[in-house]
């Protein structure tokens, strides 16, 4: 079939693997399909830790990623708890992006379980359905595909294509572009937009902007006065479905590398906190060296016994991946805390990354 130039359009597909971490585990344990399955920590829900992945059946009990394991056990005592297997997820993620690259467009990895695919095509729907077939053929994992005329709309569209969405059809795809943006989005809360969280939505509501449509019609200069000269107009553009961000084909690089640890008993002893930070800093250093990166900033996070989380950052100059340098920076950041309660979780994160090749 010969294409004519006027028939070809440029589209962005957002491909999102369904319940990724749990789905990988179900490939190895098919007998667990249809049961509430939770993945987190060592798989022991009596120990402290958080849920890394929840099956759709488990989510019906109000359990999500980030839910403490002990809370998850109370909400869903019949769930099957499994340990995290990071290497298995990375291996499946590599197969996933390899499958997308076979389509010949520009692939931008957005994480372990999602990616953007830019295509010039005469039949976007056919290509989206082809992706939905190719990904499980290569990985054994199902996916949802959103079709958009930019990354923002494609990302939102894949959410509408997810299992359980009232807009999902038998193809497992959904298209969101300038033609159906208003009827699909305008009556939704601004929090439905990619990039707007609960706090921003609450601030918008204080100004009477409780729907995407109201935000799209808002005066940009007025919002600039409240939310800042860049954020104000950006919020309006977001509500109008505008996103000039290009799909980039460079290999995915995390913006940071971090490790954290949840103590089984709350800790008050500063020496114990420093020792754990040293251990975590060495692990982060290993991550940096594996990916040929150096850190220009280290951020330490503490979560206290009341689940309140605080962080402090320290610059690293010159940037480094040396474990002792990162440990020293983490200890300096820890010294900035004035904890009033014992600590249940501690973490350190390397940010402001630079490549060894630069």
- Residues in the chain, total: 358
Q: Is 165 helix (H, G, I), strand (E, B) or coil?
A: coil
Q: Which helix (H) or strand (E) holds 155?
A: helix 151-160
Q: Is 114 a catalytic residue?
A: yes
Q: How many CB atoms lie within 10 A of CB 286?
A: 14
E strands present in the chain: 9-17, 37-39, 53-54, 80-82, 106-109, 114-121, 143-148, 173-176, 257-267, 293-304, 309-320, 343-355
C-alpha closest to that of 153 among 267, 237, 41, 34: 237
Task: Give the whole-angstrom CA distance, residue 97 versus residue 239.
Answer: 30
Q: What is the 8-class DSSP label of residue 190?
A: G
Task: Please state whether beta strands 106-109 and 114-121 pair in parallel, antiparallel, or not at all (unpaired).
Answer: antiparallel
Q: How far is CA 124 from CA 121, 142, 174, 193, in A?
A: 6, 19, 11, 23
Residue of 109, 114, 191, 260 marked active site: 114
Residue 149 neighbours by CB distance under 10 Å: 20
Token pair of 261, please? Answer: 């640890």
8-state DSSP, 228: -
DSSP state of 250: S
Q: Decide: residue 326, CB within 10 A, 0-12 exposed, 13-18 middle, 19+ buried.
A: buried
Q: Token match 């850190």: residue?
A: 295
Of 181, 131, 180, 113, nearest in space to 13 by CA: 131
Q: Which of 311, 302, 308, 309 is nearest to 351 (CA)?
A: 311
Cite the active site residues.
Answer: 114
């Amino acid at each position: 079939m010969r294409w004519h130039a006027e028939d070809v359009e440029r589209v962005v597909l957002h491909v999102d693997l369904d319940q990724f971490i749990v789905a990988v585990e179900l490939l190895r344990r098919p007998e667990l399909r249809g049961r509430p399955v939770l993945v987190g920590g060592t798989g022991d829900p009596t120990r402290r830790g958080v849920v890394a992945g929840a099956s759709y059946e488990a989510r019906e009990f109000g359990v999500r990623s980030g839910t403490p394991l002990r809370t998850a056990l109370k909400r869903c005592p019949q769930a099957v708890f499994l340990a995290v297997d990071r290497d298995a997820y990375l291996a499946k993620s590599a197969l996933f992006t390899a499958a997308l690259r076979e389509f010949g467009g520009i692939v931008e990895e957005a994480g372990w379980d999602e990616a953007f695919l830019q295509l010039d095509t005469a039949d976007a729907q056919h290509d989206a359905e082809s992706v939905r077939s190719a990904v499980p053929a290569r990985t054994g994992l199902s996916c949802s595909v959103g079709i958009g005329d930019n990354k923002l709309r494609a990302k939102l569209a894949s959410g509408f294509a997810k299992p359980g969405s009232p807009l999902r059809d038998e193809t497992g795809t959904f298209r969101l572009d300038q033609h159906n943006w208003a009827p699909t989005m305008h009556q939704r809360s601004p929090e439905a937009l990619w990039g707007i969280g609960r706090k921003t939505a609450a601030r918008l509501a204080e100004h009477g902007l409780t729907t995407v449509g109201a935000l799209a019609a808002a005066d940009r200069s007025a919002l600039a006065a409240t939310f800042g000269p860049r954020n104000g107009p950006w919020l309006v553009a977001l509500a109008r479905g505008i996103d000039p961000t290009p799909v980039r084909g460079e290999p995915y690089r995390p913006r940071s590398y971090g490790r954290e640890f949840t103590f089984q008993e709350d800790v008050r002893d500063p020496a114990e906190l420093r020792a754990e930070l040293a251990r975590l800093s060495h692990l982060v250093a290993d991550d940096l060296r594996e990916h040929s990166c150096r850190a220009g900033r280290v951020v330490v996070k503490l979560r206290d016994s009341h689940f309140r989380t605080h962080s402090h950052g320290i610059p690293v100059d010159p940037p480094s991946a040396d474990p002792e340098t990162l440990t020293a920076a983490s200890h300096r950041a820890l010294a900035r805390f004035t904890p009033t309660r014992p600590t249940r979780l501690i973490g350190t994160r390397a940010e402001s990354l630079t490549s060894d090749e630069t």
